[in-house]
């Protein structure tokens, strides 16, 4: 086993402890003995010349150095997984190019044209979400991705494609249904059924979060789930126009929001990759946006 192998293993051990903030639970999750885990973390701290955790009888918490390593470890481990995927693909001699895309975006044209231009290549598509539209690029599940901004662009090349209006999604019996447009302030008394980070303008007007810190609502697993909650009168959602157009249904209404910037769609890929296929697809995506 090489030194690099050992470092990656220690990094995975570190991430498990950082997520659990409990050495016992992390050891169970990793299927190793707790003393072994403790020794591996201590060895990693010596290699990095930094203390990563503070432990006392009541709890385990990250130091500032540990918090920084958490932020960096995700990219390192995802890069290692992407490398494994690409090597396995090359070994199988099965040329595959995967395009990620967010709900509501139609990528049929570019994918078909790219496949026609590379007849020996299998071009696949992968539906993503707000939770994984970036991680699928870092870990190699997708070669390129049609993403909705904002994203964490660290380590990525991002090429803007187009913008589109954002729509308030309300039940058909809602007071705002049938309006030709609304302002973001008109929604101030509503309950937002998505993570507020996906709608930065929401935090400036929302009364449900004013004056107190609230735990963000649980992330909906799909657009369909959001629409079910909207139709049931449990709150509102804010979606890009293409998503709203794609997911038409009779029990919800879509109203343009007039005073917030349009949503941005871009093509993204890992910047360190110099694959001519990626460059070729990016050029095609720009011409067919």
Q: What is the number of other CB atoms lying within 10 angstroms of the CB of residue 139?
A: 21
In this predicted model, what pLDDT tens digit does every residue of 176-220 receive, in sequence order? Answer: 999 999 999 999 999 999 888 788 888 788 887 665 445 555 556
The segments of the chain whose pLDDT lies below 70 read: 1-6, 85-94, 209-221
**CB 181 within 8 Å of CB 164:** no
**Predicted local confidence at residue 6, as pLDDT:** 44
CA distances from 230 to 8, 190, 263 (A): 44, 11, 21
- Give the burial class of 40: count Cβ atoms within 10 A of its Cβ; 0-12 exposed, 13-18 middle, 19 or more buried: buried
CB neighbour burial string for 231-262, b if at least 16 within 10 angstroms, e if fewer: beeebbbbbbbbbbeebeeeebbbbebeebee
In this predicted model, what pLDDT tens digit does every residue of 257-266 receive, in sequence order? Answer: 999 999 999 9
**Predicted local confidence at residue 2, as pLDDT:** 41
Q: How far apart are CA 6 and CA 289, in angstroms?
A: 45
Residue with tokens 């697809």: 281
Please list, in sequence order, all residues whose beta carbon lies within 8 angstroms of the beta carbon of residue 233, skipping any fewer than 6 positions away: 171, 173, 174
**Predicted local confidence at residue 5, as pLDDT:** 42
Residue with tokens 């995927």: 85
**Predicted local confidence at residue 229, as pLDDT:** 93
Nearest to 247 by CA among 167, 145, 135, 151: 167
Domains and CATH numbers, the chain: 3-75 (1.10.10.10), 95-163+264-287 (3.40.190.10), 166-261 (3.40.190.10)
**Predicted local confidence at residue 202, as pLDDT:** 83
77 is written with which tokens? 């481990």
């Amino acid at each position: 086993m090489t030194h690099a192998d050992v470092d990656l293993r220690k990094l995975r051990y570190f991430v498990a402890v950082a997520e659990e903030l409990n050495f016992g639970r992390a050891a169970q999750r990793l299927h190793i003995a707790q003393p072994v885990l403790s020794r591996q973390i201590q060895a990693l701290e010596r290699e990095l010349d930094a203390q990563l955790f503070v432990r006392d009888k009541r709890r385990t918490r990250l130091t500032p150095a540990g918090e920084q390593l958490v932020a960096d470890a995700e990219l390192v481990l995802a890069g290692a997984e992407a490398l494994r995927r690409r090597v396995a693909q090359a070994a199988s001699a099965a040329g595959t190019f995967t395009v990620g895309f967010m709900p509501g975006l139609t990528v049929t044209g570019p994918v078909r044209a790219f496949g026609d231009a590379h007849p020996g290549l299998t071009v696949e598509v992968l539906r993503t979400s707000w939770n994984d539209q970036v991680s699928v690029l870092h870990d190699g599940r997708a070669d390129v991705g049609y993403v909705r901004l904002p994203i964490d662009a660290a380590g990525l090349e991002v090429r803007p494609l187009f913008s589109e209006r954002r729509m308030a999604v309300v039940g058909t019996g809602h007071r705002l249904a049938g309006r030709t447009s609304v302002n973001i302030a008109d929604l101030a008394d509503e309950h937002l059924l998505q993570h507020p980070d996906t709608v930065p303008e929401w935090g400036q007007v929302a009364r449900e979060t004013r004056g107190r810190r609230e735990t963000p609502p649980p992330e909906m697993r799909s657009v369909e789930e959001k629409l079910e909650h909207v139709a049931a009168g449990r709150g509102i959602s804010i979606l890009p126009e293409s998503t709203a157009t794609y997911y038409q249904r009779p029990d919800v209404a879509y109203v343009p929001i007039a005073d917030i910037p349009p949503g941005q769609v871009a093509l993204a890929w890992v910047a360190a990759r110099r694959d001519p296929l990626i460059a070729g697809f990016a050029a095609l995506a720009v011409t067919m946006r």
